[in-house]
Each structure stands twice: as structure tokens, then as C-alpha cells.
Structure 1
Amino acid sequence: MGKHRFCGSLGDQIHEIAVEDALVPGEPFWSNYVRGVLANLHRRGIEIGPVDMLIDSNVPRGGGLSSSAALEVAVCTALAAFAGVEIDPKEVALIGQAVEHEFVNVPCGIMDQFISANGKKGMALKLDCATLEYELVPMNNESVSVLVLDSAVKHSLADGAYGQRRKQCEEASSIMGVPSLREATLELLESFREQLGDVRYRRARHVIGENARVNAFANALARGDWDEAGVAMRGSHASLRDDYEVSCAEVDTLVSLCDRIPSASSIYGARMTGGGFGGCIVALVKTEDVEKVAQELLDSYCQETGIETTYLVTRAGEGARILYQA
């Protein structure tokens, strides 16, 4: 039946995998992101013959910037084009999520894969994870830039901590008698505080509060109210740190520095990004000051932690797409 050949961009050797063997998890571990896509396409009746694939990426691995979702969605988009079929971007996102569940053992949601497949230039995306309905919110003001700083602490969601928090949220929903925490209110939560216990109570408080903060953030963007958007970001990080407990000391230091450096007034807001336990922070910064802000953050972070790290300045961009096809 021939072989698939995968090669990564970080000096990895070429890995040859028999077509039939590529439909199950295997080694090297990173190949499971590709194997999982192949298996899910096969399940949908899309057969992929032998293919040579070079994977090149500048998304930091383990940085909380959805590198795995980007890989899954890009591979799915490329392989679908290779097979001459069209797949709805929503379905591409669902395939990526299935890869995480089945081949990587991470019980993730759909958000990362969905934005990777459906992102639009100059737009934020507000997603209803239950219905997969979404709304594009303008985020194309050139006077505001997105600054991403890496804490240089790498994370892995496959070690069980992420799944543990999901389980705690599901337990909280069950105790309160709601299908999911999206159906709960803070008033209902308070009435069950004793039954939930401290940990489940705080996990649920984060999710319920975060849903409200997402709406506040999207509404602020729509109005062009960057100060209010920053308030939502600060509240989000505090909740992720204290209630969901998925931050770490280094990430907290970076976020706190956004309020303490000399150019702090040029920062609207900051928070950790991704699944937590390390990775990057994201901040909304006045474009005219973004390089100065970044350098002050790098210098102060190194002074306080001894860690030298990197940053990037970006804007909302397009999701996965075919650039050209032979």
C-alpha cells in the first residue's frame, strides 16, 4: 500500500510509516497529530494514498499558542486538498479535536481548532462551543497591537492536570443539576457552595465568570473600548490563577509586570493564554509603544526571574488555507 513520509522542521529525521500503520497511534509522539488526522479522514471515507509531507512551523511548542491545533488543522486542510475534497472548516475543527481526544489523550474543547480553521484577518471570533455558532468581532484597529511574551516555561496538557479540571467542572455541573456550567449562574453556584466544596466551587466560579468576561470582552471590542477589554483580560487572568489554578509563578510575574513597568500605561490588559501551566501571556498594547513595552517586560522579567525570553507582535490573521497547489 506504500508509505507516508513525515518530516518536521526542527532537524527531525524523515519518518516512513506504512499507510495502514498510520491510522493508529505510534512513534514519534508528534506524528500522532498527523496519524490522527489520517485516521479521521479515513473514517469519513477519504482515503489518503502515500504522501510526502514537510511540516514547518514558527509557533512555539508548549507555549499555549495552540501549536497542536494549528498542526492538526493545517494537516487536515492540506490532506483534503491533496485528496481533491472539500471539508467544511467546522468539520476540520472537529477532526482536530478528535485527534486530541483519541491520539494524544487530551480531553480538550473545540476553541483552538475552531479559530485555527475559521479565523479571519482583523477579526476576533466569539464561539458558542455547544452549537458551534460564532460571531466575528472587528479587531483591526491599527493603533492597538497584540503582544505575546513567552514565559519560557513549557507546558504539556497530556499529563492529566487539564483533564482533572474538566472532571471537576463536570462534577460541579452534576451536583448543581445543570447540563453544563454554561447553564449555571453565580446565584445558583452560591446556593450549592457547601455541597460543592472549595475546589469544585472555585473551578465552577471561574467558568461561570469567564463566560461573562468573554461577552464583556467581545462587546468592548465591538465598541472600540480597549480599556474595558483590558479590564476583562485582567479579571480573566486573576480567575485562571486563583480559581482555576492553571497559571504558574513565571506567568504571573509577566502579567504583574504589565502593571509595574514604566510604560504600563501603554498596556490595556494582559492575561495568560492557552491551557496553562506555563506558556505565554498575551497583552493589548498601544502600537506606537509596543516595542518599548516589550523590551521593558523582557528586561524586568529577566531581572526578577533570571529567565531570558522572547516576544512577538501580531494581529488577528486568517485561519488555515491553501496558498498554492501544483
Structure 2
Amino acid sequence: TNYILGVVDQFRKRGHTTGGFNLVIDGDIPFGAGLSSSAAVECATAFALNELFGFNVPREELIRVAQKAEHEYAKVMCGIMDQFASMFGKKDHVVRLDCRSMDYEYVPLRLEGYKLLLLNTNVKHSLASSEYNERRQQCEAGVDLVRQRYPEVRSLRDVTVAQLEECVREADELVYRRCKYVVEENERLLEGCRDLQQGDLTALGMKMFRTHRGLSDEYEVSCRELDFLVNAVRENDAVLGARMMGGGFGGCTINIVREDAIDSLVSALAPKYKEATGLELTPIIAGIEDGTGLL
């Protein structure tokens, strides 16, 4: 209920008073699986109350309402990406979002012959909230160190790996590794969008594997169950790419898998996963649909 109460609170802080309302939430997004279920609840609630009470708050502001609800009620100092994707999603497209300027671009995701397969570890990511806040603090510490020599720097997106080597590595090796992952991942994202524009899913998939290695070894937000699933498909010719998703420490991996190989992959992997972890493996075939709206 904190997410819902947080949204109501944010509307009131903006001068919009709600009356009483009955709210029923239904969905098929597993909670605690790294699929941004909290953002989905926040955005759905914000959109519904905005329509119900005629507040006429634009979508761009509704995502801020949802984000602040998470900050102030759930105590997770999240960025804007999950809420933006939930509110502005477009069928069969990914969103390239600049979180500083809020400029965005839709990039087509053409999956001819392939599907997005989510593999749920069934490990609830209970550490994700506290660890997210800690990673954010570490990145901010890295920016502060760089800014001592380069005062024009505002965030890690302004920083190069060479600057991290110069300003951060000797001062704090752990902060250096965290920041280096983020700087390199920013570049991978831009390259990945170019891969999609060129229809090169193979190149995108290779970057997904590299991203997971960084999340596991450098940013350290993975877990052995997630690593097991990514490593298990790495040499499978039917899998172009795999990585963890969400805040980490559990949840799902996302995989680009040849459509005709999904059943055999899951049948072969599920018993191996259970033997290694004692947990059931839950496959979810996902699609990219439009964001929050009226039915």
C-alpha cells in the first residue's frame, strides 16, 4: 500500500486533493522479480487518479509523481527509468532515454524468429533496495573525487575511464570499480541502440553478456542463481544474449532466444537449475507493449 499512498501524497503536495476511491489492482508481473512491478503500480495508480479526478497532470509529471512516491514512501532512491518505461512504453520498441534532459527516442526492436524469454530465479531481491542506495552513494562519491580536478563534471555521464583512473582508482578501488562499470555501460547502451537500428541482434546479445559480467563482478549486484542461468546459456547457439534485469540479488534474467528452441532450452535447464539451487525455474515469454493507458 505504500506505493499507492505515496502517489496520493504526491498529488496532494502538488495541490490536487483526491476524494475517496475504490482501487483494485490486477496483473501478471511477479513481485520481487526485478520486473519493475513497483513502478507499474505507481504509474497505474497515478494515471488512474489523474483520469478519475480530472487533475490534467501531463504524463511527464506523472512519472515524477510515481518516482517521488518511491523515494518518500518506499525509501528507495530510484532513478526515473522504470517509471518512464512504464508510462511511455511503445509496442515493439525500446526507449533510449537521456535521464538528464529527459529527451527520448524510440528504437524498433525487430525480433524476427526470436523471443524475449525471462527466466525467474524465484529468489526475491530483498537486498536490492538497500544495495541500490549504497551503489548510488558510491557513484556520487566517485563523481565528487573527479570533480576535485574537473569541476565541470556533474555526473558519471560526464566522466571518462581515463578520469576515473586519474582521480578515483588510487583513492578508492571499490568506488573506482563501481564507477567504471557505469561509464562503460553508458557507452554500451548507445552502441546497443546502434545495433538495433542496424538490425544486428547478435551484436546486441554479445553486449548483454558483457553487461551481466559487469553487473556480477564489478557492480556486484548479481547472485549465484542469476549467474548460473546466464552462464548456462552462454554457449547455446539458440541464445543470442542474456543478462540479469532489475535491481539484482534475485529476480529474472532476460534472454534473446530463437523461438523454436525455447521449449527445449527450458526443459533442459529447469532440472539443472533445481539440482544446483533447490529452486524451481519459472519461464516467462515477454513482449514489449504500450505503456500506461485506459483500456
**Scaled by the length of structure 1, what TM-score is found?**
0.86
Choose between structure 1 and 2 for higher RCO, CA contacts under 8 A separated by at least 6 residues. 2
2:143 alignment partner AA: S
Residue pairs, 1:45-124, within 5 angstroms? 45-124=15-94
Counterpart for residue 319 of structure 1? 291
CA distance, structure 1, for counterparts of residue 292 and residue 271 of structure 2: 35
Q: 1:274 aligns with which of 239, 246, 256?
A: 246
Gap change, CA 1:305 and 1:156, over 3 Å in 2: closer
What percentage of aligned pairs have identical amino acids?
39
Decide which of 259, 265, 272 is 1:293's aligned counterpart.
Answer: 265
Deviation per CA, 1:253-295: give whole Å up to 9, x if none.
01111125xxx10100000000111111101111222222233
Question: Which amino acid is the alignment partner of residue 115 of structure 1?
Answer: A
What amino acid is the match of 2:233?
A: C
Deviation track 1:192-222 (CA, whole Å, cap 9, x = no partner) reads 2444321000000110011011111111111
**AA of the residue aligned to 2:182:** V
158 and 41 in structure 1: CA distance in 2 versus 1, 3 angstrom threshold: farther
Provide the C-alpha distance between the structure 2 equivalents of 1:204 and 1:93, rounded to a whole number of angstroms: 26
CA contact (8 A) 1:120 1:319 kept: yes
Where do 1:106-255 residues align within 5 Å?
106-156=76-126, 160-177=130-147, 178-255=153-230
**Partner Cα distance (1:232, 1:306) in 2:** 30
Shift of 1:113: 0.5
Kept in 2, the 8 Å contact 1:32–1:104? The answer is yes
Aligned partner of residue 171 in structure 2, secondary structure = helix
Q: Distance in 2 between matches of 1:92 and 1:297?
A: 41
User: Does structure 2 retain, via aligned residues, the 8 Å contact 1:175–1:195?
Assistant: no
Where in structure 2 are there 5+ consecutive unaligned residues?
148-152
Q: Distance in 1 between matches of 2:209 and 2:241?
A: 6
Decide whether the 8 Å contact of 1:145 with 1:314 is kept in 2: yes
Tell me if structure 1 keeps the 8 A contact 2:117–2:256.
Answer: yes
Question: Does the CA-based 8 Å contact 2:234-2:242 persist in structure 1?
Answer: no
Give the AA of the match of 2:246. G
Q: Deviations over 1:175-196 (max 9, x none)?
A: 0112111000111111124443
Relative to the length of structure 2, the TM-score reads 0.94
The amino acid of 1:225's aligned partner reads D
Whether the aligned pair in 2 keeps the contact of 1:237 and 1:271 (CA below 8 Å) is: yes
Count of aligned positions: 290
RMSD over equivalenced CA pairs, Å: 1.4
Matching of residues 15-34 of structure 1 within 5 Å? 31-34=1-4
